[in-house]
C-alpha cells in the first residue's frame, strides 16, 4: 500500500496493517536466516583500466531461503536496517568475506582485495572498529586485503563517530571507498575532510555516458578531482564498450560492471583469480 499522505487514519486501514505484518514476518524470517546460514556472498570483479588485470572483488550479499527462493539485497537490507538486524548482518557478511579470502589462500588462489559494503548504522552502535580488527585477526588476513565501501549519503550524515571510526580503520591499513558517488546530495567540501582511498562513481552516471554528453563532462571532472586529491576512481555499472572507452579516455583507474563480469559464485571467482585474463 502506498500512503497518500493526506489521511492520518490510513494507519488503521487493513491493507497497511497487512504490510506491517508482512514486514514483521520478513524480519523474523531474516533473523532465522542469519542463524541458519541462508545468506551467502557473490563476488563481482573489478579490473584495472591501465593494466587490464583483475584487481579487486566486491562482495554482494544474497539470501536463498528454505524454499529455494532467492532474495536480492534490495529486498532485505532495508528490512534489516529497520528491524535492528543490520549490525549482525554486516558482521556476518564481513566474516564470510574474510573466511573466503582465508580459504582461497589455503587453496593457493592468488588473492586480491575484497570490498565489503557497510551500512551507516553499523557505525552507530557497538564497536565496529573492534569487530573489523578482530575479524581480520581471527582469519589471519592483513588489512590490505580489505576495502570497506561506505555510501556517500551515509557519510553526509557525518557524525563525528563515523568519521573517527573510518579514520581509525584507515590508520590500521584498511582501505575506505566512497560508494555511489554523485547520488548523495553532498557538497564537494566534505571530500577532503576525511582521508579515503577510492571513489566509486555511481552507475547512474556511467549508464548515461554515451547518451548525455554533459554526463561525460561531469564524470571527467570527478575523475580529475579525485586524482587531484590522490584518490583512486572506480566506475560501477559499466555495461557497454562505449562506456568503457569513455572512462578509459577520461583517466578512470578501475571499472566494474556486467560488460566485464556479473557477480559470480566463489568457485567462479577463484577461476578468474587463477587466470586473470582480461575480459
Binding footprint of ligand C2E on the chain (CB under 6 A)? 44, 60-61, 72-74, 77, 90, 93, 117, 119, 179-180, 203, 236-239, 257-258, 263
**DSSP classification of residue 109:** P
* Residue 257's binding partner out of Ca ion, ligand C2E, none, with CB under 5 to 8 Å set by partner kind: ligand C2E
Q: Which is nearer to ligand C2E, 148 or 216 (CB)?
A: 148
- Which of 55, 117, 165, 250 lies at the binding interface for Ca ion (CB under 5 A)? 117
Q: Which is nearer to ligand C2E, 228 or 242 (CB)?
A: 242
CB atoms within 10 A of CB 253: 22
Q: Which is nearer to ligand C2E, 250 or 261 (CB)?
A: 261
- Nearest approach, Cβ of residue 112 and ligand C2E (Å): 17
Pairing of strands 113-118, 146-151: parallel
Q: Which is nearer to ligand C2E, 10 or 73 (CB)?
A: 73
* Residue 147's binding partner out of Ca ion, ligand C2E, none, with CB under 5 to 8 Å set by partner kind: none
CB atoms within 10 A of CB 195: 14
User: How far, in whole angstroms, is CA 222 from its chain's centroid?
Assistant: 19
Give Cα separations from 151 to 80, 118, 166, 260 (angstroms).
Answer: 17, 8, 13, 23
SS (H, E, C) 212-279: CHHHHHHHHHHHHHHHHCCCEEEECCCCCHHHHHHHHHCCCCEECCCCCCCCECHHHHHHHHHCCCCC
* Residue 73's binding partner out of ligand C2E, Ca ion, none, with CB under 5 to 8 Å set by partner kind: ligand C2E
Q: Which is nearer to ligand C2E, 10 or 268 (CB)?
A: 268
157-188 burial, b if ≥16 CB within 10 A, otherwise e?
eeeeebbebbeebbeeebbbbbbbbbebebee
180 binds Ca ion (CB under 5 A): yes
Angle between helix axes 14-35 and 86-106 (nearest 10 degrees) is: 30
**DSSP classification of residue 65:** -
147 binds Ca ion (CB under 5 A): no
Q: Which is nearer to ligand C2E, 33 or 238 (CB)?
A: 238
152 binds Ca ion (CB under 5 A): no
- Which of 45, 86, 101, 149 lies at the binding interface for Ca ion (CB under 5 A)? 149
Would you tell me which residues interact with Ca ion (CB under 5 A)?
117, 149, 179-180, 202-203, 236
Amino acid at each position: 500500500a502506498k500512503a497518500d499522505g493526506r489521511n492520518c487514519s490510513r494507519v488503521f486501514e487493513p491493507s497497511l496493517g497487512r504490510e506491517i505484518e508482512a514486514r514483521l514476518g520478513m524480519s523474523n524470517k531474516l533473523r532465522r536466516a542469519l542463524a541458519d546460514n541462508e545468506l551467502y556472498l557473490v563476488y563481482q570483479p573489478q579490473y584495472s583500466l591501465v593494466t587490464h588485470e583483475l584487481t579487486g572483488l566486491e562482495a554482494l550479499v544474497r539470501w536463498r531461503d528454505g524454499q529455494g527462493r532467492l532474495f536480492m539485497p534490495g529486498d532485505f537490507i532495508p528490512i534489516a536496517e529497520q528491524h535492528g538486524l543490520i549490525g549482525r548482518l554486516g558482521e556476518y557478511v564481513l566474516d564470510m568475506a574474510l573466511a573466503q579470502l582465508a580459504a582461497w589462500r589455503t587453496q593457493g588462489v592468488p588473492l586480491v582485495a575484497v570490498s565489503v559494503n557497510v551500512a551507516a548504522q553499523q557505525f552507530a552502535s557497538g564497536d565496529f572498529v573492534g569487530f573489523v580488527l578482530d575479524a581480520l585477526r581471527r582469519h589471519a588476513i592483513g588489512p590490505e586485503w580489505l576495502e570497506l565501501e561506505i555510501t556517500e549519503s551515509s557519510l553526509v550524515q557525518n557524525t563525528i563517530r563515523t568519521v573517527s571510526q573510518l579514520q581509525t580503520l584507515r590508520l590500521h591499513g584498511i582501505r575506505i571507498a566512497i560508494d555511489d558517488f554523485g547520488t548523495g546530495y553532498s557538497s564537494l567540501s566534505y571530500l577532503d575532510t576525511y582521508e579515503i582511498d577510492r571513489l566509486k562513481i555511481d552507475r547512474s552516471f556511467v549508464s548515461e555516458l554515451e547518451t548525455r554528453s554533459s554526463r561525460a563532462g561531469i564524470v571527467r571532472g570527478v575523475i580529475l578531482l579525485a586524482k587531484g586529491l590522490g584518490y583512486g576512481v572506480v566506475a560501477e555499472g559499466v555495461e557497454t564498450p562505449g562506456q568503457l572507452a569513455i572512462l578509459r579516455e577520461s583517466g578512470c583507474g578501475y571499472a566494474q560492471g556486467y560488460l566485464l563480469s556479473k557477480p559470480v559464485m566463489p568457485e567462479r571467482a577463484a577461476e578468474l583469480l587463477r587466470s586473470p585474463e582480461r575480459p
